[in-house]
Each structure stands twice: as C-alpha cells, then as structure tokens.
Amino acid sequence: MTVPAGGIVRFAGAFRDYDGVIILDHGGGWTSVLVNAATQLRAGDRVRRDQPLGRALGPLLVELLHNGTHRSPALIAGSSRTLSNRGKDS
C-alpha cells in the first residue's frame, strides 16, 4: 500500500474496534482515512505520494474528506466518468 497523496500523518494506530487506522492530512482541507491498515509511521511524519505506507490488515476502507465532508475518491481520481462529471457540476 502506498500514500495516495502527500501530506502529514495525523493518526496511526488502533481506534475503537479497528486494529489499524491511518489519517493523512493533505492540506487545503483534504484528509484521507484508511481503515484496517497498519504503518510504522507516526503522527507528525511527512509523507509523499507513492511512498510505501504500510499494509492492509483486512478489507481496506478508504475515505476521502474535504473540510470534514465525505467525498467520493472517484471524483478526484477520475476513475468514474459518471461520478467525475456529476462532481464537477455540483
């Protein structure tokens, strides 16, 4: 597993019922949350895109937030033409 976009690790460790959660602050209000993921990185570590991040501990859940509002990763990645087009209009 690699870093999806550069930023700063805000949290890395167990949280509630999850063995591993990683929160990355990408700046500009953008945050990635990876659930069921383990890393050797610590809060405060700077990361760059495509840098090794860690490993999945089970089915990986990835959330993308902008200013605390959930966004579809497809809107950013352009992996879904329908979602990408809809996101640009709204």
What per-residue confidence (pLDDT) applies to 80? 47
Structural domain for 60, as ranges: 7-89
The CATH number of the domain holding residue 46 is: 2.70.70.10
> Is there a contact between 50 and 34 (Cβ–Cβ < 8 Å)?
no
The number of domains in the chain is: 1
Tell me whether residue 1 is in a domain.
Answer: no
pLDDT category of residue 18 using cuts at 50, 70 and 90? confident
Dump pLDDT digits (tens) for 30-86: 999 999 999 999 999 999 999 999 999 999 888 999 999 998 877 655 554 544 444
Cα–Cα distance between 3 and 59 in angstroms, integer? 17
Question: 81: which 2 tokens?
Answer: 């033409």
Is the separation of the CB atoms in 18 and 34 below 8 Å? Answer: no
Judge whether 2 lies within some domain.
no
Is 78 contained in some domain?
A: yes
Q: Residue 4 above 90 pLDDT?
A: no
Given this model, what pLDDT does residue 87 score? 45
Q: What is the pTM for the complete model shown?
A: 0.80
Give me the amino acid identity at 21.
Answer: V
Give domain status of residue 53, yes or no. Answer: yes
Q: How far apart are CA 28 and CA 35, in angstroms?
A: 22
Cα distance between residue 79 and residue 55, in whole Å: 23
